[in-house]
Structure 1
Amino acid sequence: MNDDNSLPLVTVRALAYNHAPYIRKCLDGFIMQKTDFKFEVIVHDDCSTDGTIEILKEYAAKYPDIIKPIFEIENQWNKHDGTIGRIMNKYTKGKYIAWCECDDYWIDPYKLQKQVDILENNPDVQLVYTGFQTVDEKGNAIQIPYYVRNAKKSRSGKQFSKLICSNYIQTLTVCGRHSMKLDEESINSPGADYDWSIFLYASLKGDLFYLKDITGCYRINPNGMMISKAKQTTNAMKTIFEYYATLYNDKYASNDDWSECMITKYTIALRALDIFKKDKKLMNEFFKKNKIYIFYALLAFPHFFCQLIGKLFNKFISQK
């Protein structure tokens, strides 16, 4: 637990921007948490114009020890310079951090307690993530094949070689150690406040723990940040991938046994061929900077050859 009992053990970080139709559900999910420790919720509002600010002020007045909003006078996200992350870091006091954007919400009143218990009792675990339900704009449960597949990938233990291929962890389900956000490698990472970057760094530093309990709902919102800023997000993902592929080879590969190391490097090479396939310049720069992955990329050619033969065979069969 925190040495200073006056400080919250957990800081929940929530981002709000024009979330008036959804934010009450989100804030209620925070308020209902039943814990044997103090926690705070830092809600950063990025100049909403739809009534979100008024709702936040209402909850802050009613629950001043929990809901602590930050109101901007100009939009910070559009600066694209990490300002929001620096602001949130300044106000984060907890030993542990949980995340939830304000169009998503929690449904398990013991979510934080379950996750903190795991973190307190397992020092090698860097973060705990859980199951979740996808819902539409109105909050109706829906099944999205992409997220169903992601749920099947979820595991406990070492996860870097799997996470470097795709981010199957949903941010609203996560609670992790604040200390990993303070490491220089984490602070200096590109896209340091993108969830995938946070999860990748955690998976380099230790184990992840998957709790199957469904603790929250992820809203499929066509106006959400990741959808509305798809091109910017894609470019950020490429930069994050390159940073962590390089960091793994330069520093962390030596921590793995030889078989795990080879599997991870082979996986990274495969992912590099895929993620940079439409940008040969970036691909050449990546392999020039990380020459070791050229060897593993060459090993991947039989994999792609077999895929091609399979596609040709299936096409031939379908035409008969």
Structure 2
Amino acid sequence: MITYNHAEYLADAIEGVVQQACNFPFELLIGEDASKDETLQIALEYQKRYPHIIRVVHSETNVGMNINSWRIFTKARGKYVAYCEGDDFWCAPDKLALQVAQMESNEKIGIVHSDWTRAYKKKDQWIYDYAKSVHRRVAPKYLEGDLFKTWHYPKILRTCTILLRKNTMAEWYASGLMNEKYHFGDSVLSAWITARAQVGYIPAVTAVYRVSPNSALRSGAKARVSLYRSALEFDTNARSFFGSKVDYHDGYRWDSAAGLLLWSLRARDWPTARTALLDFKKHFTLSRFITTGYQTIAMRLPTLQRQPRRIPGQT
């Protein structure tokens, strides 16, 4: 659990972990990144309450999201690792038990994720509805099995829902695909893990993702522009990394260039808008641009039939 300035949310995140009902021991590693609020104090208070579960890792200076995540990973002692950032929370007490059971049952599965829902802040209250889960209208072909061709689908492998083997995560770090300069880590992991293993899925809402107004993605148009620049940089490196994979899809490039174009226009950053247009020209013929765009948009269209999902409070 990496956390920074999450004093308002951290208790919910921690409670969702310590309340897990498992027939195996587990630990919670909290990476506190020199917050300016009371995040560290809250984390340390919980460590005193649950010394057999919680360990807090912190320093006097801010190290950034990627290094913070790495430093707590190196201290993990379990066979598996799961993630929940300090402003999200788990809402199903059997999340870990279900995911571990699925991993243990099939060695071809490299990562297990689940359904989730979003929470929005209205006035001073967080609003969320388990019944309005993100995957309720998503076709199963995008959720489990061999997903390398559609790894860039943004609704899957949400960080707060995943579990994978610790040695798999170590191999990812050692692969060289991840760069600490990227503005994200989830997309990099999604590409890498789906290229080498199957994806397992729990058809239940196990986590709540807060759409925080203070997050990096919602810090204005300039922040979005920087994000999509980073995405294009990653895609360039990924194309080289997956050179032998003939089914590496153009969808992520299309998505990232389109995002860069739209947000640069919103930021009135005309040179960057031109960069995005030139990127389209460089990587797509007209027919390929239309085909890839259609596939990318079609992937997001909801299914007509709602998928069955277990939600908290149901048996």
- TM superposition score category, shorter chain reference: 0.7 to 0.9
Distance between the aligned counterparts of 1:246 and 1:304, measured in 2?
20
Structure 2 gaps of 5+ residues are 262-272, 296-315
Q: Which amino acid aligns with 2:40?
A: I
- The structure with the largest helix share of the pair is 1
The corresponding residue for 1:311 is none
Is 2:188 aligned against 1:197? Answer: yes
Distance between the aligned counterparts of 1:92 and 1:208, measured in 2?
23
Q: What pairs up with 1:15-164 in 2 under 5 angstroms?
A: 15-77=2-64, 82-137=66-121, 138-141=125-128, 148=134, 152=138, 154-164=142-152
The corresponding residue for 1:180 is 168
Distance between the aligned counterparts of 1:207 and 1:216, measured in 2?
21
The Cα of 1:192 is off from its aligned counterpart by: 9.4
- Shift of the 180–64 alpha-carbon distance from structure 1 to 2, 3 Å rule, reads same
Q: Structure 1, residues 20-49: CA drift from partner, whole Å, max 9, x if none?
A: 111111111011001111211111111112
Conserved in 2, the CA contact under 8 Å of 1:136 and 1:219?
Answer: yes
The corresponding residue for 1:222 is 213
The corresponding residue for 2:279 is 283
Conserved in 2, the CA contact under 8 Å of 1:34 and 1:113?
Answer: yes
Greater CA drift, 266-275 or 128-137 = 266-275
The corresponding residue for 1:241 is 235
Instruction: Give the % identical residues.
Output: 21
- Shift of the 91–230 alpha-carbon distance from structure 1 to 2, 3 Å rule, reads farther
SS at match of 1:213: strand
Distance between the aligned counterparts of 1:185 and 1:150, measured in 2?
35
Length-normalised TM-score, structure 2? 0.74
Distance between the aligned counterparts of 2:205 and 2:138, measured in 1?
14
Which of 241, 252, 255 matches 2:245?
252
SS at match of 1:127: strand
Q: Structure 1, residues 253-310: CA drift from partner, whole Å, max 9, x if none?
A: 3xxxxxxx3xx546567557646764259738975xxxxxx6xx46525648999xxx
Give the superposed CA RMSD. 3.3
The Cα of 1:205 is off from its aligned counterpart by: 1.0
Distance between the aligned counterparts of 2:292 and 2:148, measured in 1?
23
* Bigger Rg, which one: 1
Distance between the aligned counterparts of 2:146 and 2:96, measured in 1?
22
Length-normalised TM-score, structure 1? 0.73
- Shift of the 53–281 alpha-carbon distance from structure 1 to 2, 3 Å rule, reads same
Structure 1 gaps of 5+ residues are 1-13, 254-260, 288-293, 308-320
- Bigger RCO of structures 1 and 2 (CA < 8 A, at least 6 apart): 2
- Shift of the 67–271 alpha-carbon distance from structure 1 to 2, 3 Å rule, reads same
- Shift of the 285–94 alpha-carbon distance from structure 1 to 2, 3 Å rule, reads farther
